Each structure stands twice: as C-alpha cells, then as structure tokens.
Amino acid sequence: VDRAGVKIAVAKGSAPHNVLQRLIKNAEIVPVPGGFEAARDALATGKADVYGENLHLAHRIADALPGARVLPGQFNVVQMAIGVRKRAADALPMIDAFVSKARTDGTVQKAINEAGLRGVRVPQPA
C-alpha cells in the first residue's frame, strides 16, 4: 500500500492518522472527517484508494462498498486503559480485579460478540 500514487484516507487527528503519518513514506495521506460516512465516501468517490482505520470499522466500511475488502495484517495495536482521579487511587485494586475477571470469564468476549465487532480480540493477560 505504501507506494507512490496510492492515496490513503484516514480520519483527521485520529490515532490511525498519527501512526500512519509516521509509517507511510511513499503513499499520500488524505485526512478526512472522522466517521463511517466520510470513510465510505472517500473510497466510493475515488478520493482515496484505501482507508486506514480500526479493524471493526474497517469491516463495516468494506461491507458497505461492493468489491471492497479488509487487507490482512495490521499497522498498529490499540491499547485501552481505565483512568481514575488521583484521589480515587484506592479503587485501583478493585478495578484491576474487575478487568482481569471480565477478560477471563468471557464478559469482554461476550460484549465484543454482542456488538458485532469483527477483528477485535480480548487481550491475553500480561
């Protein structure tokens, strides 16, 4: 994909935008407004050849465009975190226990499945 003449659309100011700006050396990055419609339209109108996005949204975009597909591989791994106010730091052990249990007892996987998020995986314990 990183070839001269290839246009890669990405949501302006998003995490994928920041990552692709560092990684792409030859293709042109085309910032567009965020969201499904802007992504679909960038591809449908030829404003871009490919769209850089989180995997679950990439699948949704590809489903909406006949002949489109999600390319194999990845250019980034998104890590999620929970933050608390400094004065609530005593809650961290409870939050850690909740997150660990939700990851291992199937709660997170169930939420992923119910939301229809293709390509999203439950992280393995560190």
Q: What angle do CA 115, 72, 33 make, to 5 degrees?
A: 60
Cβ neighbors of 2 (< 8 A, separation 6 or more) are: 23, 24, 25, 26, 27
SS3 of the chain: helix, strand, coil, percent, to 5: 45, 10, 45
pTM of the model: 0.76
Question: What would the pLDDT profile of 19-64 be if each residue is shown by its tens digit?
Answer: 999 999 999 999 999 899 999 999 999 999 999 998 888 999 999 9
